[in-house]
Structure 1
Amino acid sequence: MASEQLRVLITNDDGYQARGIRALATAIAGRGHDVQVVAPLDDQSGVGTARAGWVDRPIATRSEDANGITYIGIGGTPALAVTLARLGAFGKPPDLVVSGINHGYNFGVILHSGTVGAALTAATQGLSGLAVSIGAEDPQYLESAAEVGAELLGWLSEEPAGTVLNVNVPDRPLSELRGVRSARLAPYNPNRLVAGLAPTGEPMVALRTPDPAEDLDTDESLLAAGHITVTPIVGIQEVPDDAAAQYLVRWWAGAKR
């Protein structure tokens, strides 16, 4: 299937007009794939897999064409974009989902990432997903991450449905990258979040960039060293452990007496 034309849904959480999604769509279309771009109308960073308020209501859309590609913006989240496309709201459903290029890394505990959330949503709906991020809020080398994402489609298309990859690329020319590494997710770093007060006196949370973790095989450390990182991930799964249920069974037996 790697050599066949794929119908690829491309989404993101930075908005359908973001430079990252435009670079990614151009690279994937350039490899002969049928791209379908559906993404939020505006920035939806940090929404995870949310799809709040989407049932039984009309969803605002807007579209524009650029370089032969139609970019559709929706009044909703990246996960909603995946769901709508999977249901055929914009034509033939996709074969794969690619999310990005996110402006800024998605390393470590990525529970809240809208970029990664779109790829995980694809997996719950029987599709494989790829999340691509680059290490800058104002990236200068989007073509590097775009080429990495486009290349990985060949591998992803051959894997079982539901496969999800989280990929991060330093904001450097391809020739200046140090290579590719399989990476563990960096552990949660509480020092990255700082609580404070806004000038108005209201509470606010700020993010700061911590020093790379000492674990040299984590995505955070490898990215700091200039590597492309690739991390297979999974979403919610049950744990084969009935201890909690058995605890309640014993309680229930006593409560019925």
Structure 2
Amino acid sequence: MAPEQLRVLITNDDGYQAPGIRALAPAIAELGHDVLVVAPLLDESGVGSAMAGTVGRPIRTATEEEAGVTYIGIDGTPALAVTLASIGAFGRTPDVVVSGINRGANIGVPIFHSGTVAAALTAAEEGLSAVAISIDSEDPDHWATAATVAAEALTWIVPEPAGTVLAINVPDRPLDRLAGVRHASLAPIKRSRLVGTTAPNGDPMIELGPPHANPIPGSDEALLREGYVAVTPIVGIREVKDDAAATALAKRLS
């Protein structure tokens, strides 16, 4: 299938009106692809691959047009957007998925909490390749840089084996000021910036702490801080080819 014939699903977890997806969709459309944009009506950050309460009920949608691109908002999560598109809820099913541009980096092992990354992994479970793209700022100035990186990553991933997933983090700087592109390992869970605190009424809370000092060399955390585009191929749930647990349990129950 020629690249210009590809049906590209674009989604995110910040919402279908978020500036990241509004920067991403036109950049992909300019490549000549058939673009389908389906994303949450509201911010669904941190939902992972959740789709609770969606079976057996109508899913509310809203539609907007901007610069020739149609944006569909759904009352649900990014993983639900991928699932709906993959079963034909919006016409022709997608050939590939791009998720983002997420506001704020998605780095380290805790990316499994990210709705943006989970959308890409859900695509892989549907047999589709996907790119999850994030920018390293909560208030970015350079959406266009991340959009350009996403477009190039999409072009690269198309001929790769089905189910290939890239998690990409982009510094918030002009394209010509990027230090380069590097393969990045996932920073370990202990590098997570999530910290526990207590609300004034005594209820537990989670907040985002400041960046850690001395990131692990070669990790997504470190490379992003050095100004590199950090690229990490990832996989979702895979079985372990080991029957020891079942064998042991069978003996205990016999």
TM-score, normalising length from structure 2?
0.96
The one-letter code sitting in structure 2 at the alignment partner of 1:216 is P
Report the Cα distance in structure 1 between the residues aligned to 2:3 and 2:13, rounded to whole angstroms. 29
Match of 1:59 in 2: 59
1:38 alignment partner, SS class: strand
Match of 2:125 in 1: 124
Tell me by how many angstroms 1:192 deviates: 2.3
Tell me by how many angstroms 1:128 deviates: 0.8
2:74 and 2:81 in contact (8 A); partners too: yes
Report the Cα distance in structure 2 between the residues aligned to 1:8 and 1:80, rounded to whole angstroms. 16
> Which structure's CA Rg is the greater one?
1
Tell me by how many angstroms 1:182 deviates: 0.5
1:189 alignment partner, SS class: helix
Match of 1:180 in 2: 181
Tell me by how many angstroms 1:4 deviates: 3.3
Tell me by how many angstroms 1:3 deviates: 4.0
**What aligned pairs does 1:168-207 form with structure 2 within 5 A after superposition?**
168-189=169-190, 192-207=193-208
Tell me by how many angstroms 1:172 deviates: 0.4
Tell me by how many angstroms 1:213 deviates: 5.0
2:39 and 2:72 in contact (8 A); partners too: yes
Match of 1:236 in 2: 237
1:111 alignment partner, SS class: helix
In the superposition, relative to structure 1, how do residues 232 and 58 fare at CA in structure 2: closer, same or farther (>3 Å)?
Answer: same
Q: Deviations over 1:68-105 (max 9, x none)?
A: 00100000000000011111111111110100000000
Count of residue pairs the alignment pairs up: 253
Match of 1:50 in 2: 50
1:238 alignment partner, SS class: coil
Q: Deviations over 1:150-189 (max 9, x none)?
A: 1111111101111111000000001111000001111112
The one-letter code sitting in structure 2 at the alignment partner of 1:26 is P
Report the Cα distance in structure 1 between the residues aligned to 2:178 and 2:77, rounded to whole angstroms. 32
Tell me by how many angstroms 1:2 deviates: 6.2
Tell me by how many angstroms 1:191 deviates: 6.3
2:27 and 2:148 in contact (8 A); partners too: yes
**CA RMSD, aligned part only?**
1.3
Report the Cα distance in structure 1 between the residues aligned to 2:4 and 2:33, rounded to whole angstroms. 8
Segments of 5+ residues of structure 2 without an aligned counterpart are none
2:185 alignment partner, SS class: coil
Pair 1:10-2:10 in alignment: yes
